[in-house]
Amino acid sequence: MKLGFLFGAGAEMGYGLPSGGQFALEIFRRDVSKSKEIFKTMRNNVKLDSSYAAEWLPSGFESKNISSFGKTVFQNIIKDTLEHNRDTIVRKLNDFQTIAEYHASDLKKKKGIDIDEVLTEITGTAPEDLSMKHILSFIDEFKEGDVLFESNYFSSLLTVYKLSPVFAEHQGDQTVNWQRIELKKILMSIIQLLVGALSENLTKRINGGLFAKKDDEIDFFDDFGEILQLNYSASGLVGMDYLLDKRDPDLSNSLGKCLLFAQSIVEDIYSVVLDYKSLIDMYWHYLYTPSTDWAKFCKICIFLLNVRDYMVTEESLSKDKRNSLKEGFYGYYQQLNEAIKCNLFEVHGIATTNYCNFISEEIFKGIDGENEKVVFLNGSTEMWYDPYLNRIGSEDELAHSDNHILVPLMFTQSGTKPMTSIQMSEKYVETYNKWKEVDKIVIVGFGFGSDDEHINGILRTLIDSDNKKIVVVTRQKQSPIKNHQIVRQIAKKLRVSELKNISVIQMNSEGSPAESQKSLMQLLSDDKEHVN
């Protein structure tokens, strides 16, 4: 049997690498001084007497100020988040109880903190017995958000905030005030984000259909633009600011433990809904106009350099974690490595949407001979881009006598791809042609998101036009979902009609196939359709 493979972000979380949302938050927290120095070095190495310097860069570029993204971009990020992810935000916050239950369990497992006991100590009531649904409610237009107040954990955190001064006085704890203020910021940011999403839905509905009835022959009715405008600066910016500057709580007191619990929840929520795609798309254009927009050119270059620096650091930390993992741990890459060594099947075409290069090292460790080359469909930490020549390659491949300014080819959460570069086009075509020759394409940890349309389009053609089968490996949810339901969800995301060509394998929290004694690779090597 011949199998192709596509690995997404979910395939690497077990190796200690961050998810997409965590990635986004950490990039904006990260100090840019190192990336600025790298950019300055590239700028200083440009040959001043070259046509590149004369025609592409602005006059006096060698001494111009260098700018990077500051906090002024956060309002645009919140705007994009509310515009593009408003329904996701409402769903996520209405599922606050489930998120909180997960983090309560995680705190107990990792830090030995029983948050139920802590909450009960402060409020005098067990979390399961607390609910604000009869005390708090939104106006009728925002009734959809009332589910938040039904959450026992959200109600408990509100009660902690309300009672914490009395609790602190009773306990003789004088260090509690700043932690109470921090908790207030978190609770405010959650409600603000929910109100912002609900307001965005309302304004879109009103602005999109101001008149219930109108005469189409009276043309000036079409000239009414957006009547209502949302104040984005008050619709989630508090949470964004908080997460970027948050302080570590004092775990020696109960309120500090509550704060840690609340921090983990709000970070989880923002990491899922945060959308900065438009920011990158907006600034990508300035890579090609340094002579007229030097400051914006600097900002996008330094941002991409900072993304690379973060990922290289995370890959190094991940390597340390991989080396210290307990014996017997096998991530997806090690499992594939063992399958290749055991000749369970032939591998033909491996692609990834991730950026770290350890995938090749792990999959082909101890395997002699010429191996498959892993194709990095979204770029990688070792791929660079020359905007002047629209070329992609390693730093050595892009070396030029004029010493052009290069940027890392890493397009995080962005639909913008340098598709016109022949080098990248070749990678997509090569991957598609290889996958046309396999029996099945195995897809691990890939979300089929709207920003992945350049990859979704390849899969859509393979499934509907080429009659190729895909096997999607996904994490089993806390509330079990049947495989055929997941198939329908995937088909909807991919906009395909041939559901018979989609199969699913759900993995449990230990990384083993749910309800199966066989390993993932053994299941994949079977000829029969066992995974539907």
Q: Quickly list DSSP for 109-166.
A: HHH---HHHHHHHHHSS-GGG---TTT----GGGGGGGGGGG-HHHHHHHHHHHHHHH
Return the HEC string of 285-303: HHHHCCCCCHHHHHHHHHH
Q: Which domain holds residue 116?
A: 73-211+222-273
Confidence band, pLDDT 50/70/90 cuts, at residue 443: very high
User: Do 24 and 143 fall within a single domain?
Assistant: no
User: Do 330 and 296 fall within a single domain?
Assistant: yes
Closest CA to 5 of 251, 510, 373: 373
Number of domain units in the chain: 2
Tell me which of 200-209, 222-231, 286-295, 390-399 is least confident. 222-231
Indicate whether 21 belongs to any domain. Answer: yes
Residue 157 and residue 163 in contact, taking contact as beta carbons nearer than 8 Å: no
Burial 47-68 (b: 16+ CB within 10 A, else e): eeebebbeebbeeebeeeebeb
Residue 197 tokens read as 């999403």
User: Do 323 and 263 fall within a single domain?
Assistant: no
User: Do 77 and 54 fall within a single domain?
Assistant: no
Residue 201 above 90 pLDDT?
no
Confidence band, pLDDT 50/70/90 cuts, at residue 328: low
What whole-number distance in Å separates Cα of residue 69 and Cα of residue 67?
7
Closest CA to 268 of 334, 345, 186, 192: 186
User: Do 54 and 82 fall within a single domain?
Assistant: no
pLDDT digits (tens, 9 = 90+) for 490-527: 999 999 999 999 999 998 867 778 777 788 888 888 75
- Contacts of 174 by beta carbon, 8 Å cutoff, 6+ apart: 168
Residue for token digits 């990922």?
Answer: 311
What whole-number distance in Å separates Cα of residue 202 and Cα of residue 470?
39
User: Do 268 and 306 fall within a single domain?
Assistant: no
pLDDT given for residue 103 in this prediction? 94
- Contacts of 235 by beta carbon, 8 Å cutoff, 6+ apart: 78, 82, 192, 193, 195, 196, 199, 200
Residue 258 above 90 pLDDT?
yes
Question: Pairing relation of β-strands 391-393 and 379-386?
Answer: antiparallel
User: Do 36 and 124 fall within a single domain?
Assistant: no
Indicate whether 40 belongs to any domain. Answer: yes
Helix (H, G, I), strand (E, B) or coil at 106: helix
Indicate whether 530 belongs to any domain. Answer: no
* Residue finishing a domain among 246, 273, 300: 273
Q: What is the dihedral of CA 517, 519, 523, 525, to 10 degrees?
A: -140
Residue 303 tokens read as 């941002």
Residue 314 and residue 18 in contact, taking contact as beta carbons nearer than 8 Å: yes
What whole-number distance in Å separates Cα of residue 437 and Cα of residue 484?
26
User: Do 442 and 295 fall within a single domain?
Assistant: yes
User: Do 509 and 444 fall within a single domain?
Assistant: yes
Residue type, 497: S
Indicate whether 268 belongs to any domain. Answer: yes
Please give the angle made by the CA atoms of 87, 455 and 422, to the nearest 5 degrees: 135
Helix (H, G, I), strand (E, B) or coil at 352: strand
User: Do 13 and 43 fall within a single domain?
Assistant: yes
User: Do 202 and 177 fall within a single domain?
Assistant: yes
Helix (H, G, I), strand (E, B) or coil at 381: strand
Residue 142 and residue 165 in contact, taking contact as beta carbons nearer than 8 Å: no
What whole-number distance in Å separates Cα of residue 389 and Cα of residue 35?
22
pLDDT-above-90 percentage for the chain = 46
Indicate whether 475 belongs to any domain. Answer: yes
pLDDT given for residue 64 in this prediction? 94
Residue 413 above 60 pLDDT?
no
Residue 339 and residue 518 in contact, taking contact as beta carbons nearer than 8 Å: no
Please give the angle made by the CA atoms of 495, 499 and 502, to the nearest 5 degrees: 100
Indicate whether 280 belongs to any domain. Answer: no
Tell me which of 252-261, 271-280, 341-350, 378-387 is least confident. 271-280
Question: 451 versus 162: which is more confidently predicted?
Answer: 162
Residue 502 tokens read as 């989609």
User: Do 342 and 435 fall within a single domain?
Assistant: yes
Indicate whether 299 belongs to any domain. Answer: yes
Closest CA to 263 of 239, 289, 290: 239
pLDDT given for residue 97 in this prediction? 95
What whole-number distance in Å separates Cα of residue 207 and Cα of residue 392?
43
What whole-number distance in Å separates Cα of residue 121 and Cα of residue 251?
15
Tell me which of 116-125, 337-346, 412-421 is least confident. 412-421
Indicate whether 532 belongs to any domain. Answer: no
Helix (H, G, I), strand (E, B) or coil at 470: strand
The sign of the torsion formed by the CA atoms of 28, 33, 36, 38 equals: negative
Residue 199 and residue 207 in contact, taking contact as beta carbons nearer than 8 Å: no
Residue for token digits 């020549």?
Answer: 389
- Give the count of alpha carbons within 13 A of 285, CB side only: 6
pTM score above 0.85? no
